[in-house]
Structure 1
Amino acid sequence: MCASFHPRLINLPFDDPGVFVPFRFEKRAILFDLGTADALSSRDMLKISHVFISHTHMDHFVGFDRLLRLCLGREKELCLYGPPGFLKNIGGKLTAYSWNLVQNYPNWFALRATEVHPDHVLSQEYLCQHRFMPRNAPTRHPFDGILLREPALTVSCALLDHHIPCLGFRLAESFHVNIIREKLDALNLSVGPWLKTFKDALTAGKDPAAPFEVPDGQRFTLGDLADQIAMITPGQKMAYITDAVYSPSNAEKIIRLARGVSHLFIEAAFLEAEAELAEKKYHLTARQAGELAGKAGARQFTIFHFSPRYTDMETQLYDEAQKAYNTAIQGH
C-alpha cells in the first residue's frame, strides 16, 4: 500500500519538537508544533495549510515568526490551533511588528486561529491587508473533540495536563484508496492528476452511479471504475503527544488518542530512574512513553524531546521505551 502521508520529526530528538506531515501527490502539509524549524525548507514550509500547537512554550512555538514571514505577500490561508490563551499569544506575536506597508501586497493572506477549550473553541481571523488587526470579537462554537473535518481526514485532540493545558493530537484518514497499477495498464489508462480527482470523489462519498470520464475519453461510472482499478483499505492514523505528566487522566486520554494508530510520536524526556523529576517537570519518562504506546496498540512509535542531560545516552532512552512497549503490547 502506498501511504497517503509520511510523517517525520522536523528535528533531532534533543532539539525542538515537531512533526511534519506532507501529503502524497499534493502540494500540502500539516505541522504539529512549531518550534525551531530550520531543517524544513522554505518550499516545505509553504506547503503547510494547518498548524496544531500543543502549547506555547518557546520550544513549541518560536518558529511561528519564520512561517509568518514566508507567507507574507502570498495568496494563502493558514489555520492554527492551540490551547486556552492561544488567541492572546497569537495577538502578542502579531502586534510585536509594524505593518504599515502590508496594504501594498497584491495577494490576500489570512491567518485563522482557533483556541481550544474543553467544551468550546474560540476562532479569530487576522488579515494581512488589515495589518493583522481583528475586526470582530472571536466567534465561539461548540467543541466535540474534532478540530478539522475533511472528506479524507480528521484531526482530533484532547487537553492534557502539563501544569498548563497542552493539546495532544490524532490525525485519521477516512480510508485509503490504493490504485492497482496492473489494472490501470489493462485498461490502457495512464497515471496522472485525474487519479487525485478520482480519489477525492470517492472520499467525498459521491454517488457510485455518477459518470466519471478519464483523460483518454473512456467513460465509467465512479463505482465501476473503483471496482476495476482500486482497492479500498482502512486509512492511516497517527498521533502526536508531547509535554504531559504521567497521571491516570493523561494516560487515559493519550491511549484513546493513540488507539490503533499506524505511528505514534510521543515524548520521552527522562529515564525512569528520574521519574520523580519527570513528574515534577510534568513530562513523561521513556518507560511511560513505551508503555502508553503498547497499551494503545500503536503499530509503530517514535520517542523524542529528550532532556539534554542524556546527551550521548539516547540509546538508553530507546531501549527503555522499547522494552516497556514490548511488555505492554503483549498484554494488549
Structure 2
Amino acid sequence: MTLTILGCYAATPRTMTNPTAQLLEMKGRMFLIDCGEGTQVQLRKHKLKFSRINHIFISHLHGDHFYGLIGLISTFALLGRKTDLHVYGPKGIKEITLLQLKLSNSWTSYNLYFHELESEESVVVFEDDKVRVTTIPLRHRVYTNGYLFEEKAGERKLNIEAVENYEIDLCYYRKIKWGGDITLDDGRTIPNEELTFDPLPAKSYAFCSDTVYTEAIVPIIKNVDVLYHESTFLESEVQYCEKTMHCTAMQAATIAKKANAGQLILGHFSTRYDSIERFKTEARTIFENSEIADDGKVFEF
C-alpha cells in the first residue's frame, strides 16, 4: 500500500503549496482521492502513471478539493483515453462537471460515470474482489464524506513442501490457496492449515478531510492501519474550528487514539503557520505515531 501526497494544504494554492489531492495504490489499483487545483501537474511532476487512475473520490464541493477535476478529465480526453472513468462525490458533482464540458464543447473520448452521494450514513460505494471503499460521513460546512479503503483478504500461501509431500496434483493448488481441504486417493482429508500459510494481513486506509471534531467517525475507522485526518489549525487557534468546521492537530490525534489507529498522518494545514513540524509536535502529545503529510511525500505501508 503506497500513498503519495500530491497536495495537503488548505484554501488557495501557492507557489510552494498545493491543495488537497492524494494517490493511493492498493492491491494494484490506483485511487485518486480529492483533486484540488493543479493535481494533474503534480501527477506529472512526480512521474506517476495517472492513466491507471480509473476511480476518483471527491470528499466535498469546496474548490480546494475538486477544482482540478475538470482539467484532469479534459487531459485524459486529449491523450485519447478509452478506459472508463468513475467519479464518486456529493450530489452536484455530475452537474458542475458536465456543464463545463458542455459549454466548452469538450466531450470525453471515454465513458465517464458519476456516482453521486447523499447518504448521511456510512455506505459502500465501490467493491471488487480485492478492495472495498466505504464512506465516512463528516461534519463540515457542506455535505462531506471521507473514505475508508480496505483490502480484502488475499489467497493463502502454499506450503510447497507439505503439498509435494502428499503428492497433491497441480490442479488442486487453486482450491488450496482459497482455503479448501484436500481428500487424498486413500480417503484421508488433509486440513488446509497443513498445506498453507496465512496470507499477509489486509491493510486499511482512512481519509478524513474536512471536518470539525466528531467522535461519530470512530466506530467506522476502528483499528484502521493508517488514518489521514485534517489538522487545519494548532490548538492555539482552536477558537476558529467551530466557525470554519475544521480541526486542530490535537483533535486529530485524539480521534486516532480513540480509533486505535496504527498510524496518523496530519494534513490540510492552514498556510498561516511558518512550520508544519509544529503540527506533529502537538499531535504526538496525544498520539505518538503521528506524522505530517507534505506535497510530494510518499508513504509506504
User: What is the DSSP-based 3-state SS (H/G/I as helix, E as strand, rest coil) of the residue aligned with 1:171?
Assistant: strand
In structure 1, the partner of 2:70 is 65
Decide which of 226, 238, 241 is 1:275's aligned counterpart.
238
Aligned positions of 1:100-119 closer than 5 A: 109-118=110-119
User: What is the DSSP-based 3-state SS (H/G/I as helix, E as strand, rest coil) of the residue aligned with 2:237?
Assistant: helix
TM-score, normalised via structure 1 length: 0.69
1:163 deviates by 1.2
User: What is the DSSP-based 3-state SS (H/G/I as helix, E as strand, rest coil) of the residue aligned with 2:278?
Assistant: helix
TM-score, normalised via structure 2 length: 0.75
Tell me, yes or no, if the aligned pair for 1:168 and 1:257 is still in contact at 8 Å: no
In structure 1, the partner of 2:136 is 158
Tell me, yes or no, if the aligned pair for 1:270 and 1:284 is still in contact at 8 Å: yes
1:53 deviates by 0.4
Task: Answer yes or no: is 1:85 the counterpart of 2:92.
Answer: yes
Task: Answer yes or no: is 1:231 the counterpart of 2:238.
Answer: no
Give RMSD over aligned pairs: 3.2
Q: Distance in 2 between matches of 1:97 and 1:225?
A: 59
In structure 2, the partner of 1:39 is 42
Following TM superposition, where does structure 1 have runs of at least 4 consecutive aligned residues deviating by more than 3 angstroms? Answer: 176-180, 183-188, 206-210, 223-230
Tell me, yes or no, if the aligned pair for 2:74 and 2:106 is still in contact at 8 Å: no
1:287 deviates by 0.6
Decide which of 234, 245, 248 is 1:285's aligned counterpart.
248
1:227 deviates by 6.2
In structure 2, the partner of 1:10 is 6
Task: In structure 2, give the amino acid aligned to 1:55.
Answer: H
User: Between Structure 1 and Structure 2, how many residues are aligned?
Assistant: 261
Decide which of 205, 215, 222 is 1:251's aligned counterpart.
215
Q: Distance in 1 between matches of 2:104 and 2:76?
A: 15
Tell me, yes or no, if the aligned pair for 1:46 and 1:70 is still in contact at 8 Å: no
User: What is the DSSP-based 3-state SS (H/G/I as helix, E as strand, rest coil) of the residue aligned with 1:159?
Assistant: strand
In structure 2, the partner of 1:330 is none
Identity %: 25
Task: In structure 2, give the amino acid aligned to 1:15.
Answer: N
- Unmatched tracts of structure 2, length 5 or more: 10-16, 165-172, 183-189, 290-301
Q: Distance in 2 between matches of 1:284 and 1:78?
A: 32
Q: Distance in 2 between matches of 1:110 and 1:177?
A: 32
Aligned positions of 1:297-308 closer than 5 A: 297-308=260-271
Q: Distance in 2 between matches of 1:178 and 1:43?
A: 31
User: What is the DSSP-based 3-state SS (H/G/I as helix, E as strand, rest coil) of the residue aligned with 1:275?
Assistant: helix
1:317 deviates by 1.0
Decide which of 310, 314, 320 is 2:273's aligned counterpart.
310
Tell me, yes or no, if the aligned pair for 2:136 and 2:220 is still in contact at 8 Å: yes
Q: Distance in 2 between matches of 1:238 and 1:33?
A: 15
